[in-house]
Structure 1
Amino acid sequence: MINFAIIGTGWITESFVESAHASGSWKLVAVYSRKAETAAQFGEKFGVHYVFTSVEDLAQDEGIQAVYIASPNSLHFEQAKFLLSHKRHVIVEKPATSRSKELNELFNLAHENGVFLIEANRHIQEVNFKILQKNLSRLGPIYGASLNYASYSSRYNAVLDGQTPNIFSLAFSGGSLVDLGVYPIAAAVALFGKPVSQTYKPVIIPSGGDAGGIVVLFYEKFAVSCLASKCFTSKAPSEVFGEKGTLAINAVTDIEHVTFLDARTKKSEELGEKKAELNLMEEAAEFARIIENGDKEAAGKLEEMSKIVISITEDLRHQNGLIFDVEKAA
């Protein structure tokens, strides 16, 4: 059982705690928030009354083995850096950092201190995503793929009213690309590796950030289109196309169906299994396994994927003048 604390008290944190507890491998023991009242209110939901308003105090508590970070993107780096330097395992919501340079520094710090840093790309841990991966060989030569995640955000209403919520703010290292775009991009990297090059055509909002758009990842012999948006919704499935058939999934996250469509016979075969009841339970279980078993090989594969994904999003942002404030200050 891993005793852990959380930084960030939003819905994703609540979902992770519920999933972590359901996995049977984690125990929430402390809650951090800048306001003690906020931390206490969150902790009460899980019977936890140990709260912190200082990351420094949290890091020095020997009873805490790991910390899950889901604060605003721009705060991840400094918080994770402090915790890793105090030999605490860190699970950090994507994007783990604003820049590749920061991510590399954190992984180096984790290695130096003998702890794990893991970016929470939950969808690649899903049972049906792994079934998709396993069956790629059935397609023969790959001809291309379409991976989609477009969901209208309630906070986009504020953008239309002239405001700039944190999730869309360059000051907080936000934007659709690094919030939702990383789902299809990470899926592509997990399936096919690092692309040769990439392009992005974004929808730019008045504050200068991006609200959505189309990414194309170019591989040596095929391309992958990624539709990712917080300013419109798409119900299009995601598919991988090959010489011998097509593998189709209903979505790039929370996958319920994996269907193989035979190119010659035109017949379809359902390959998917029942997905987990809690959508973060599979990642919580896997991250606990890595930490408890000291599985450096599995952690190394996740590290490499995280480095590739941020190198892609960093390049795409810079191609389109999407410069975070932390980059301007550097």
Structure 2
Amino acid sequence: MINFGIVGTGWITHSYVEAAHATGRWNLAAAYSRKAETAQEFASKYSDKKVATYTSLPDLAADSNISTVYIASPNIFHYDQAKLILNAGKNVILEKPSCSTLAELDDLFATAKAKGLYLIEAFRHIQEANFKLLKASLPLLGPLHGASITFAQYSSRYEKVLAGEVPGIFDLNMGGGALVDLGVYCVAAAIDLFGAPQASTYYPVMLPTGADGAGRLILTYPTFTVHLCHSKIYNSEAPSEVYGEKGTLIIPTITDVERVTFWDPRSKQKRVLEGVRKPEELNLKEEAAEHARIIEERDEAALKRLEQHSRDVLSVLEKARHNNGLLFPGGK
């Protein structure tokens, strides 16, 4: 059982904690928030656990009862908080996007390695069984012709932007924007499926806040291109697809993948591959289980693959932002 603490008290943290507990391999032991009442309210949701609460991050980091910390704070705080936790001798599960720059991420990985610790970026979808089924089914397509990956969900906070406000998710000072919030899922999926691209070009939809509200990102590979579409200012129900000489693989959504369908161009028929997801299944359980396995088994090979994946994803994000003037504080 891994005793862990959390930084960030939003819905994603509750989802991760619930999923982690469902694996039977994690135990929530500490919660941090800048406000005591917020930390206590979060801890109260897990009354069956003995959860210490903190309003000081160094105090959380010094808690000898925890070995790992899950960080899901606003993006702009990720680097500093992860660095503090690693320096305190604890593993870090860091929500996407990991950092603002590759230099920051490289520093965190170097710190973790120097201390014999693990830093893992929490990309839930690439750990899902059906996403892995999609990846394993790529040979069915023969030579690849391309792919389209979509994640577009209208955010209620866009209404605040229209009213002249600057909510955190659309605030560059908080590390916000559609690319780093939802587009990162598309980038992570593409790189897990096809590897790092040779080149990339981003076409953002800019908002009055200075951040991007939506965008289209083109990834170029030696023999094909991948089209990524993401948005927080409009909705899309378009599926994600991978195209090949021998057919098309289709998934309804890029996260919480319910099924993988193969379309045969010669028979003009669709076939659902094994692995239909049950709606009641916890959508972060698979990643929480894999994080625990890597830590418990000290799976250096898996860790190395995830580390390279995180670097490749951040490389695309950083280039896309900087080429379009989407700069975080300090020119990041």
> What's 1:4 paired with?
4
Distance in 2 separating the partners of 1:327 and 1:92: 22
State the percentage of identical aligned residues: 54
> What's 2:19 paired with?
19
**What one-letter code is carried by the residue in structure 1 that aligns with 2:99?**
T
> What's 2:66 paired with?
64
| Structure 1: runs of 5 or more not aligned | none
**What one-letter code is carried by the residue in structure 1 that aligns with 2:232?**
K
Aligned residues: 328
- Counterpart secondary structure, 1:311: helix
> What's 1:221 paired with?
223
Matched, 1:194 2:193: no
Shift, 1:325, TM fit: 1.1
Distance in 1 separating the partners of 2:169 and 2:17: 22
> What's 2:291 paired with?
287
| Structure 2: runs of 5 or more not aligned | none
Shift, 1:272, TM fit: 4.1
Of the structure 1 ranges 269-278 and 49-58, higher mean CA displacement relative to structure 2 is found in 269-278
- Counterpart secondary structure, 1:178: helix
> What's 2:32 paired with?
32
> What's 2:328 paired with?
324
Distance in 2 separating the partners of 1:101 and 1:118: 16
Shift, 1:259, TM fit: 0.4
> What's 2:83 paired with?
81
Distance in 1 separating the partners of 2:274 and 2:87: 41
Aligned alpha-carbon RMSD (Å): 1.0
**What one-letter code is carried by the residue in structure 2 that aligns with 1:227?**
C
- Residue 143 of structure 1: which of 128, 142, 145 is its match? 145
- Counterpart secondary structure, 2:317: helix
Residues 217, 223 of structure 1: 8 Å contact kept:
yes
Matched, 1:131 2:133: yes
- Residue 302 of structure 1: which of 301, 306, 313 is its match? 306
- Residue 157 of structure 1: which of 134, 159, 166 is its match? 159
Shift, 1:327, TM fit: 2.4
Query: After superposition, where does 1:125-274 map in structure 2 within 5 Å?
Result: 125-274=127-276
**What one-letter code is carried by the residue in structure 1 that aligns with 2:249?**
L
Residues 260, 276 of structure 2: 8 Å contact kept:
no
> What's 2:101 paired with?
99
Residues 198, 216 of structure 1: 8 Å contact kept:
yes
Matched, 1:41 2:45: no
Residues 94, 121 of structure 1: 8 Å contact kept:
yes
Matched, 1:52 2:38: no
CA shift digits 1:256-296 (9 cap, x unpaired)? 11001112222221114132611100000000000000011
Distance in 2 separating the partners of 1:281 and 1:327: 36
Of the structure 1 ranges 284-293 and 198-207, higher mean CA displacement relative to structure 2 is found in 198-207
Of the structure 1 ranges 269-278 and 157-166, higher mean CA displacement relative to structure 2 is found in 269-278
Distance in 1 separating the partners of 2:27 and 2:308: 28
- Counterpart secondary structure, 1:153: coil
**What one-letter code is carried by the residue in structure 1 that aligns with 2:87?**
S
**What one-letter code is carried by the residue in structure 2 that aligns with 1:122?**
R
Q: Which runs of 4+ in 1 moved over 3 A?
A: none
Matched, 1:278 2:310: no
CA shift digits 1:36-89 (9 cap, x unpaired)? 111001000002441011111111111111000011111111110011112101
Residues 28, 51 of structure 2: 8 Å contact kept:
no
| TM-score, length-scaled by structure 1 | 0.98
- Counterpart secondary structure, 1:114: coil
Residues 171, 326 of structure 1: 8 Å contact kept:
no
Distance in 2 separating the partners of 1:19 and 1:87: 25
Distance in 2 separating the partners of 1:272 and 1:94: 29
